[in-house]
């Protein structure tokens, strides 16, 4: 039973790998079509900048990675046993050249430097607190994450919503994020920009802008209990006048987000349908913050107010 | 052939290793304490409206604890000198004294804790008190372990006499004891003194 | 009275759901049954005396492998369950679940357990097994610095394994919080059950074991090297292990302290991380990641060391740029301690802080690239033999590189804002942990197996296992990167089918099945090699023409490793010895440590305490603690811990061994194929049934 087996040649293996990966790519690309590739489908300036940044970084990485990987696999193939004659005498190990050592340290360091030089300013301009257009007055929306829904309060329009937020296009929006009786959640509308945590006793500021009309999915990107996967909301970007019309429409709806209603919302629930409130206590958000901050010393509230703008 | 020298150098190498290993362990213990210190620094003012350190701490008692512990380190040092001289009775005396001073320290500390609890300031009251009780309490737990270690070692020395093994154990013990003293200096400064700054 | 005796235990705690019953049978009763069979065949004295109480790092190493391998199966099953749920979620609802076949809470427990098991019990177990077995051999030591701490550390690790399987039998729930149980989700307020408590103690007890082992390995490497072996002559696997252990002692104390703080919150009602009364949950995130990030480098540094050994040996060349490799490993060690915040760029620390940590994270890519170039330089002008370890190396390079690149993308804070907690992140770290740590472990096991067992592993089935892993990995994780870019968040138990994600999840599940076949083939590989061991026998102790000292011993080595510790004059000492002859030194008396059961007893008492603290059985917690103290004191005052093997006895043992080796002759024959193995296995199974029938007089 000992037939002489031929080992699969390197060429065959290489072809199989190429065809396999190629086939996988074709399958994946065809499956992606027609779907929302959220990180590429940037519908706002912030998301767009973030996408460009990611692409630039990947390109720079490929510039060093592809030749390096090719060099490694090529070296392995070139110096395989069957391709190399055994040495007639055992050579003394040669002294590694200083050139070689310097090169293998210098090249990665240079690439790291380039990436760092791109990253540092980007981290500042794309910081969530960074105001998008100093000339324009942003629309402020206060967000309270609860188990397992999102409550949106429009302090200037005096309305509130659950699991639905509408913003006018081309208008910078300042989301003020906090939480109530909930673990940390992460406020995320991928088509419009990156995420930011909403936590009890803290307020985080996320600046976004929507530049294309449409309905976009928002969610919590941080696990916060059994209802985590249902904590979705719709973010609608509409023309300015449609937004104003919507606000006045909500004001006619008649529901009020008063203390009793708010307590009902605080109870854990999942899959809350979009709800609209014509009126809301103007200091509801501040009361939520105070509820937790008063548990620190008096100083904590004062210093954290610096986050308020 | 096994020589006396061979056995001795084997022992010496083993002692050297154990000593080094104990230092590494002390560093890990220090790192654990540093987490507790960092936590205390972050949470010390989170009293949820309750009293701050300067309203709770009674410095005279804490000063007494500090002096007791410093003295106990001194007596432990004298005990180590006696151990290296091979004097069993002196070792028992000096380390016995160290033991008593350690007990006194614990008694004072427990009295402080009991007073706070009696007034209603427990580790459940707020984050500041939680971190206080855990930091100071962990140090106290280490002192307790040290006393246990000291007690059993002294009993052994009393029963079996002083030999090289026990001298080595004593040297590790005194290292531990001095380490706890240093940690206490930090606690005294960061927790108690800085509350009044 | 019942409450005093049993704490919070009730009869509801006993298994009564399909998964708790299944888990109890599979992961508690089955191992007990296997042990019982072993005792039946070989006797309790053999098991207790030769293995369980052994302080021989070679035996302890093998035991680590067995436990870690068992947990690999469990962790892998968890992964398959996760993928199956996500593949089924939009289109099915069975077994009482709203989506798929698992409730959201159960699903969350499964991936939490998966993460903990893979990191703490599989990766750490295999790595510690390898370090235990190989490092003393490489540096010419006979044992670790403290054989007692070694066995104690192992049994504490087993205590952790027991704890993470215990909840099947009692309690029925594990943490549902993700593998690091972030606050305040893990607080009593949001996780009132015993799940998080099981989580705390399984990590705490094995974490303390790890710290003790770390101290032990550092002592050994720094103080017990053969004469003449300076640090700059040490093999690179030893260097990787040293760097890893330095990081262990630097960061595991942080984990210990943080877990205690979480325990205090839950048990004593304290307020370190609670949402009210002054707690600061963000502090937990910082503390846990200060441990968590260095932990992954703890795992990967020994793997880097393994690859350096493998590449050098099979290229038949000394490692190029040894100095750079060591400095690179140290660089990784140092920088790993300064990057933890990149795990929560999205918590809102501000641009300066985020940017700083982003830059530090990128800096780590530099030493890693240096290692990679070093391996290329080693292969250059070598004469490479493509054995399985080399294949695992080649697989590692590609996959780890992808993981590394995705890591650099994630290190850019604004990019991370879109990628944090997405499947892109999950694909990134799996590329690094599977490609780096796991493939390194596989390479190491295939490389050193002849040393462990006296015969090498079947290459044929091994290759098939390798390709299953590669194909399975690509099918599982490349779609995962894509899903991340499509905006898929991690840890979702269900999602809307309109997202178009389901086909990708199905691909991932199929990839997972292929990986499972790979794991099965690896188990088959070991069994088939054992069946064929006469064909695969290693007669010289040096089957690969090795360069380092471990290959100068018998396979497997005697309990004292080598009869004479040679004087070392160069790096790669075996090359020197083969050229100029082995040093001739006279035999001397050797001091060997006795076996001890103290490790088992202390770990058992510690386990009792931890279990008691999960269920608030206060008397048992105190009793366990007292037990730990008493056993510890008893051990430290035990003077008879060593025995002497005289020079004459060694001479005889060596002579007998050499005679036996001379008689060993490998039988001819090719490595068994998978088909041949299946035929043998079926025949054996039929034989078992046939025997039964004959015994019953049929």
The pLDDT tens digits of the residues spanning A81-111 come to 888 777 665 555 555 678 888 888 999 999 9
* C216: closest chain B residue by CA: B21
Q: What is the CATH number of domain B10-196?
A: 1.20.120.80
> Which chains lie within 8 Å of chain B at 3 or more CB pairs, if any?
A, C
Least confident window among A97-101, A252-256, C254-258, C471-475:
A97-101
pLDDT tens profile C528-561: 999 998 889 888 889 999 999 999 999 899 999 9
At B50-103, the pLDDT tens digits run: 899 889 999 999 999 999 999 999 999 999 999 999 999 999 999 999 999 999
Mean pLDDT, range C49-56, rounded to an integer: 95
Assessment of whether the complete model's pTM goes beyond 0.90:
yes
| Cβ neighbours of A225 in C, within 8 Å | 176, 185, 190
Residue of B nearest to A297 (CA): B46
> What pLDDT score was predicted for residue B101?
97
Which residues from B are below 8 Å from C283, CB to CB? 39, 42-43
pLDDT band at C658 (very low <50, low <70, confident <90, very high): confident
Show which of residues 132-171 on chain A sit within 8 Å of chain C, judged by CB atoms: none
The residue of B28, B113, B170, B176 whose CB has the most chain C CBs within 10 angstroms, and thus the best one to mutate to test that interface, is B28
Chain C contact probe: residue of B13, B21, B22, B52 with most C CBs at under 10 A: B21
Q: Are B40 and B191 in contact (CB under 8 A)?
A: yes
- Write down the pLDDT at residue C266: 97
Q: Reply yes or no on whether the pLDDT at C692 is more than 80.
A: no
Helix spans in C316-350 (H)? 322-336
Mean pLDDT in chain B? 92
* Tokens at A35, concatenated: 């779907």
Q: What's residue A91's pLDDT? A: 53
pLDDT band at C696 (very low <50, low <70, confident <90, very high): low
Measured CA to CA, the distance from residue C226 to residue C576 in angstroms comes to: 15
Q: Counting runs of H as helices and runs of E as strands, what totals does chain A give?
A: 7, 13
Q: Give A300's contacts in chain B (Cβ within 8 Å).
A: 45-46
Task: Measure CB to CB from residue C146 to each of B6, B21, B134 and give the nearest one.
Answer: B21
Residues 257-296 on A with a CB inside 8 Å of B are: 294-296
Query: Average model confidence (pLDDT) for chain A?
Result: 89
Residues 447-506 of C with CB under 8 A from A: 471, 474-475, 478-479, 482, 484-487, 489, 491-495, 499-501, 503-504
Task: Determine which of A177-191, C241-255, C655-669 has the lowest per-residue pLDDT on average.
Answer: C655-669
pLDDT per residue over C140-165, tens digit each? 999 999 999 999 999 999 999 999 99
What average pLDDT does the segment B105-122 reach? 95
Contact, B69 vs B107, CB < 8 A?
no
Pick the residue of B42, B47, B56, B131 with the most A CBs within 10 A to test the interface with A by mutation.
B47
Q: Taking CA atoms, what residue in A is nearest to B127?
A: A296
- pLDDT at A308 > cutoff 60: no
Q: Which residue has the higher pLDDT, C129 or B6?
A: C129
Stronger pLDDT, C438 or C690, i.e. the higher one? C438
User: Residue C492's closest chain A neighbor by CA?
Assistant: A229
Residue-wise DSSP of A280-309: E-TTHHHHHHHHHHTTS-HHHHHHHGGG--
User: Considering only alpha carbons, which residue of chain A is nearest residue B48?
Assistant: A295
CA distances from A258 to A154, A159, A200 (A): 14, 11, 20
How do the domains of chain B map onto residue ranges? 10-196
Residue range A156-172, pLDDT digits in tens: 999 999 999 999 999 99
Partner-chain contact B20 C219, CB within 8 Å: yes
CA distance A148 to C280: 22
CA distances from C542 to C111, C136, C377, C421 (A): 42, 17, 25, 47
Res C641: pLDDT: 85
Measured in residues, chain A has a length of 309
Distance from CA of B47 to the nearest CA of C (A): 6
Q: Is A248 on the interface with B (CB under 8 A)?
A: no
Q: B139 exposed, middle or buried (CB, 10 Å; 0-12, 13-18, 19+)?
A: buried
Q: Which A residues, 15 through 54, put their C-beta within 8 Å of a C-beta on chain B?
A: none
Domains of chain C: 53-596+637-688 (1.20.210.10)
Q: Please tell me if residue A301 touches chain C, with a CB cutoff of 8 Å.
A: no
Residue A309 pLDDT exceeds 50: no
Confidence grade of residue C18 (pLDDT, cut at 50, 70, 90): confident
Query: A interface mutation test: which of B42, B43, B45 has the most A CBs within 10 A?
Result: B45
- Please report the pLDDT score of residue C205 as a whole number: 97
Q: Which residues of B touch C287 (CB under 8 A)?
A: 35, 38-39
Q: Does B56 touch chain C (CB under 8 A)?
A: no
pLDDT above 70 coverage of chain B, percent? 96
pLDDT of residue A298: 45
In percent, how much of chain B has pLDDT > 90?
Answer: 82
Tokens representing A81 are 């046993």
Are residues A50 and C418, on separate chains, in Cβ contact within 8 Å? yes
Distance from CA of C77 to the nearest CA of B (A): 35
Restricting to B residues 67-126, those with a Cβ less than 8 Å away from any Cβ of A are 126
Find tokens 């100068």 and name the residue: C552
Task: Report the pLDDT value the prediction gives residue B197, as an integer from 0 to 100.
Answer: 86
Quote the CA–CA distance of C336 and C247 in Å, as a whole number: 9
Question: Binning pLDDT at 50, 70 and 90, where does residue B2 land?
Answer: very low
Three-class SS state of C327:
helix
pLDDT for the residue numbered A135: 86
Looking at residue A303, its pLDDT comes to: 42
Residue of A nearest to C103 (CA): A226
pLDDT of residue C328: 96
Q: What is the mean pLDDT of residues B117-138?
A: 95
Instruction: Tell me the mean pLDDT in the region C683-687.
Output: 90
**Among all residues of chain A, which has the CA nearest to that of C319?**
A93
Whether the pLDDT of residue C17 is over 90: the answer is no
Comparing A115-124, B5-14, C468-477, which segment has the lowest mean pLDDT? Answer: B5-14
pLDDT, tens digit, 9 for 90 and up, residues C481-532:
999 999 999 999 999 999 999 999 999 999 999 999 999 999 999 999 999 9
- Subunit contact C272:B16, Cβ cutoff 8 A: no
Q: What is the dihedral of CA A186, A192, A194, A197, to 10 degrees?
A: -20
Name the minimum distance, in Å, from the CA of C67 to any CA of chain B: 27
At C686, list the tokens: 């039929």
Give the integer Cα–Cα distance in Å for C337 and C319.
Answer: 27
Tell me the count of B-C CB pairs closer than 8 A.
115
pLDDT band at residue C458, thresholds of 50, 70 and 90?
very high
Average pLDDT over residues C91-101: 90
Peptide linkage before C72 cis (omega within 30 of 0): no
CA distance C433 to C204: 22
- Whole-number pLDDT of residue A300: 46
Of B45, B49, B52, the CB nearest to A294: B49
Instruction: Give every CB contact of residue A54 below 8 A, 6+ residues apart in sequence.
Output: A39, C409, C412, C415, C418, C419
Domain boundaries, chain A: 11-75+99-125, 139-308
Give mean pLDDT, residues C337-363.
95
Residue of B nearest to A292 (CA): B48
Chain A to chain B, count of Cβ pairs less than 8 Å apart? 17
Burial of A30 by CB count in 10 Å (0-12 exposed, 13-18 middle, 19+ buried)?
A: exposed
pLDDT at C145: 94
- Residue A293 confidence (pLDDT) above 90: no
| Structure confidence at residue A302 (pLDDT) | 40
Report the mean per-residue pLDDT for chain C: 94
State the average pLDDT over residues C662-666: 80
Show residues of chain A in contact with C505, CB under 8 Å. none
Residue C397: which residues within 8 A CB-CB, separation 6 or more?
A: A69, A72, A73, C372, C375
Q: Strand, coil or helix: what is C456?
A: coil
**Which pLDDT tens digit goes with each residue over C375-384?**
999 999 999 9
From A252's Cα to the closest Cα of chain C, the distance in A is 32
Dist. CA C379–CA A75, nearest whole Å: 7
Q: Which CATH number fits domain A139-308: 3.20.20.70, 2.60.40.420, 2.60.120.260, 3.90.870.10?
A: 2.60.40.420
Closest to C472 in 3D by CA, of C522, C527, C519, C425: C519
Taking contacts as CB-CB distances below 8 angstroms, the residues of chain C near A296 are 278
């Amino acid at each position: 039973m000992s037939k002489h087996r031929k080992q699969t040649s390197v060429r065959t293996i290489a072809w199989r790998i190429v065809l396999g990966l190629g086939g996988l790519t074709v399958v994946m690309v065809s499956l992606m079509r027609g779907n929302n590739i959220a990180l590429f489908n940037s519908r706002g300036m912030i998301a767009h900048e973030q996408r460009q940044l990611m692409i630039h970084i990947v390109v720079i990485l490929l510039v060093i990675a592809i030749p390096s990987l090719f060099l490694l696999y090529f070296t392995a193939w070139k110096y395989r046993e069957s391709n190399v004659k055994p040495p007639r005498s055992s050579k003394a190990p040669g002294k590694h050249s200083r050139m070689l050592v310097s090169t293998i340290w210098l090249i990665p360091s240079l690439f790291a430097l380039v990436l760092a030089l791109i990253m540092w300013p980007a981290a500042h301009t794309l910081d969530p607190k960074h105001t998008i257009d100093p000339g324009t007055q942003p629309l402020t929306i206060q967000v309270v994450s609860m188990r397992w829904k999102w409550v949106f309060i429009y302090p200037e329009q005096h309305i509130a919503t659950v699991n639905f937020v509408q913003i006018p296009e081309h208008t910078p929006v300042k989301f003020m994020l906090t939480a109530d009786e909930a673990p940390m959640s992460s406020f995320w509308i991928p088509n419009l920009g990156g995420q930011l945590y909403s936590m009890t006793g803290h307020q985080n500021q996320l600046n976004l802008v929507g530049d294309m009309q449409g309905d976009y999915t928002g969610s919590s990107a941080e696990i916060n209990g059994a209802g985590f996967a249902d904590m979705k909301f719709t973010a609608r970007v509409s023309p300015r006048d449609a937004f104003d019309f919507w606000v006045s429409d909500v004001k006619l709806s008649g529901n009020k987000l008063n203390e009793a209603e708010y307590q009902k919302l605080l109870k854990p629930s999942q899959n809350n349908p979009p709800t609209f409130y014509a009126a809301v206590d103007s200091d509801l958000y501040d009361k939520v913050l105070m509820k937790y901050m008063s548990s620190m010393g008096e100083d904590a509230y004062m210093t954290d107010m610096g986050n308020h703008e | 052939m096994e020589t006396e020298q061979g056995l001795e150098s084997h022992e010496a190498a083993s002692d050297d290793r154990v000593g080094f290993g104990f230092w590494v362990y002390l560093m890990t213990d220090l790192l654990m304490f540093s987490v507790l210190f960092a936590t205390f620094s972050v949470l010390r003012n989170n009293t949820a409206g309750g009293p701050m350190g300067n309203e709770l701490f009674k410095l005279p008692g804490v000063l007494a604890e500090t002096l007791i512990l410093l003295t106990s380190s001194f007596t432990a040092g004298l005990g180590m000198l006696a151990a290296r001289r091979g004097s069993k009775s002196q070792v028992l005396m000096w380390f016995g004294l160290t033991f008593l001073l350690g007990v006194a320290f614990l008694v004072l500390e427990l009295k402080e804790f009991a007073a706070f609890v009696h007034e209603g300031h427990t580790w459940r009251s707020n984050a500041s008190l939680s971190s206080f009780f855990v930091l100071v309490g962990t140090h106290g737990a280490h002192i307790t372990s040290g006393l246990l270690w000291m007690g059993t070692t002294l009993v052994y020395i009393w029963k079996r006499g002083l030999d090289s093994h026990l001298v080595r154990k004593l040297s590790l013990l005194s290292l531990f004891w001095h380490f706890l003293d240093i940690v206490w200096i930090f606690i005294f400064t960061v927790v108690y003194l800085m509350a009044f700054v | 009275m019942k409450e005093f005796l049993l704490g919070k235990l009730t009869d509801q705690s006993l298994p009564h759901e399909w998964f708790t019953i299944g888990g109890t049978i599979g992961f508690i009763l089955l191992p007990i049954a296997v042990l019982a069979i072993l005792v039946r065949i070989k006797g309790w004295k053999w098991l207790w005396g030769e293995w369980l109480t052994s302080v021989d790092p070679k035996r302890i190493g093998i035991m680590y492998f067995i436990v870690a391998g068992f947990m690999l199966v469990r962790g892998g099953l968890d992964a398959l369950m996760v993928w199956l749920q996500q593949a089924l979620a939009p289109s099915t609802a069975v077994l009482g679940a709203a989506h798929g076949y698992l409730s959201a809470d159960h699903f969350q427990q499964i991936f939490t357990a998966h993460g903990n098991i893979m990191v703490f019990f599989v990766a750490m177990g295999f790595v510690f097994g390898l370090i235990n077995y190989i490092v003393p051999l490489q540096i010419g030591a006979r044992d670790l610095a403290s054989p007692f701490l070694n066995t104690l550390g192992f049994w504490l690790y087993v205590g952790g394994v027991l704890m993470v399987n215990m909840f099947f039998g009692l309690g029925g729930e594990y943490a549902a919080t993700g593998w690091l149980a972030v606050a305040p989700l893990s607080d009593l307020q949001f996780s009132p059950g015993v799940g998080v408590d099981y989580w705390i103690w399984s990590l705490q007890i094995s974490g303390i074991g790890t710290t003790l082992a770390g101290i032990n390995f550092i002592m050994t490497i720094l103080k017990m090297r053969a004469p003449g072996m300076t640090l700059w002559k040490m093999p690179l696997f030893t260097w990787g292990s040293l760097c890893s252990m330095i990081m262990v002692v630097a960061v595991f104390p942080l984990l210990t302290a943080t877990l205690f703080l979480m325990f205090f919150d839950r048990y004593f009602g304290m307020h370190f991380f609670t949402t009210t009364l002054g707690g600061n949950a963000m502090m937990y995130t910082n503390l846990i990641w200060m441990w968590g990030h260095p932990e992954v480098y703890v795992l990967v540094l020994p793997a880097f060391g393994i690859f350096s050994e493998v590449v050098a040996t099979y290229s038949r060349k000394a490692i190029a740029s040894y100095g750079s490799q060591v400095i690179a490993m140290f660089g990784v060690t140092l920088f790993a301690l300064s990057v933890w915040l990149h795990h929560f760029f999205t918590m809102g620390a501000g641009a300066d802080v985020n940017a700083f940590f982003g830059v530090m994270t990128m800096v780590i890519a530099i030493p890693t690239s240096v290692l990679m170039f070093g391996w290329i330089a080693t292969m250059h002008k070598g004469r490479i033999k493509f054995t399985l370890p080399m294949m695992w190396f080649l697989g590692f390079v590609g996959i780890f590189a992808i993981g590394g690149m995705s890591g650099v993308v994630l290190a850019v804070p604004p990019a991370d804002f879109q990628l944090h907690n997405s499947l892109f992140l999950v694909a990134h770290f799996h590329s690094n942990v599977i490609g780096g740590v796991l493939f390194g472990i596989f390479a190491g096991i295939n490389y050193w197996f002849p040393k462990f067992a006296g015969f090498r592993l079947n290459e044929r089935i091994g290759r098939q296992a390798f390709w299953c892993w590669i194909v399975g990995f690509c099918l599982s994780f490349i779609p995962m990167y894509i899903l991340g870019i499509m905006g898929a968040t991690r840890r979702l138990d269900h999602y809307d089918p309109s997202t178009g994600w389901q086909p990708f999840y199905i691909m991932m599940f199929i990839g997972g099945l292929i990986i499972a076949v790979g794991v099965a083939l690896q188990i088959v590989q070991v069994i088939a090699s054992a069946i064929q061991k006469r064909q695969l026998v290693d007669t010289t102790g040096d089957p690969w023409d090795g360069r380092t000292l471990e290959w100068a011993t018998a396979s497997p080595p005697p309990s004292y490793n080598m009869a004479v510790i040679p004087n070392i004059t160069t790096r790669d000492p075996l090359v020197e010895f083969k050229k100029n002859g082995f040093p001739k030194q006279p035999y001397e008396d050797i001091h060997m440590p006795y076996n001890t059961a103290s490790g088992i007893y202390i770990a058992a008492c510690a386990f009792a305490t931890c279990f008691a603290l999960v269920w608030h059985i206060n008397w048992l917690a105190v009793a366990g603690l007292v037990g730990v103290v008493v056993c510890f004191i008893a051990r430290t005052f035990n003077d008879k811990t060593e025995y002497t093997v005289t020079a004459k006895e060694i001479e005889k043992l060596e002579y007998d061994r050499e005679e036996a080796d001379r008689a060993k002759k490998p039988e001819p024959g090719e490595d068994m194929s998978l088909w041949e193995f299946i035929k043998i296995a079926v025949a054996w199974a039929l034989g078992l049934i046939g025997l039964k029938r004959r015994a019953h007089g049929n």
